[in-house]
Amino acid sequence: MTPTEKQSKLKCMRCGHEYTTSDDLIKVERACPKCRSNSVRRVGEKK
């Protein structure tokens, strides 16, 4: 899935899982949907 408007692309620094979300990345706690790790990094620019 490619990030659409207001969506951000994230990558888990623990399991490598990549996903997109429309959550506010600063206010909402990031957690990898696959492994629940909080080591989730924003990759690419927010559109």
Partner 1 sequence: MKDVGRHPRIKLMTLSEVEDVSGYVGNFNVKVRRKARYVREADCTACGECATVCPVNKYNEYEVGLATRNAIYIPFPQSIPSSYVINMADCLSKDVITCNKCVEKCQKRCIDFDMRDEIVELKVGAVVVATGMDVYDPTRLDEYGYTRFQNVVTSLELERLINAGGPTGGHLVRPGDTKAPKRIGFIQCVGSRSHNRGNPYCSNICCMVTIKNSLLIKEHYPDTEITVFYIDIRAFGKGFEDLYERSKREGVRYVRGLPEHIEEDPSTGSLRLKVENTTAGCIEEHELDMVVLAVGLEARKDGDKIRHLLSLSQTSDGFLAESHPKLMPVDAPTRGVFLAGCVESPKDIKDSVTQASAAAARAGVILSSDKIKLDAAIAVVDKEKCTFCELCVQVCPYSAISASKQNKIAAHVTEAMCAGCGSCAAECAFGAISLRHFEDAQYMAQIEAALAENPQDTAIVFACNWCSYAAADLTGTSRLQYPPNIRIIRTMCSARVNEKFVMQAFKLGAPVVLVSGCHLADCHYMAANRSTVKRMDRLWSRLERLGIRPERLQLEWMSAAEGQKFARVMAELDERRSKVTPEEIEQTRKALEAADKKKVA
Q: What are phi and psi of 38, to 5 degrees?
A: -90, -5
User: Binding to partner 1 by residue 45, rule CB under 8 A?
Assistant: no
Which x/- pattern over 10-39 shows residues binding partner 1 (rule: CB under 8 A)? ---xx-x--------xxxxxx------xxx
Tokens in use for 4? 């659409």
Among 34, 41, 46, 47, binds partner 1 (CB under 8 A): 41
Whole-number Cα distances in Å, 15 to 4, 5, 19, 22 = 23, 26, 12, 21
What is the contact surface with partner 1 in residues (CB under 8 A)? 13-14, 16, 25-30, 37-42
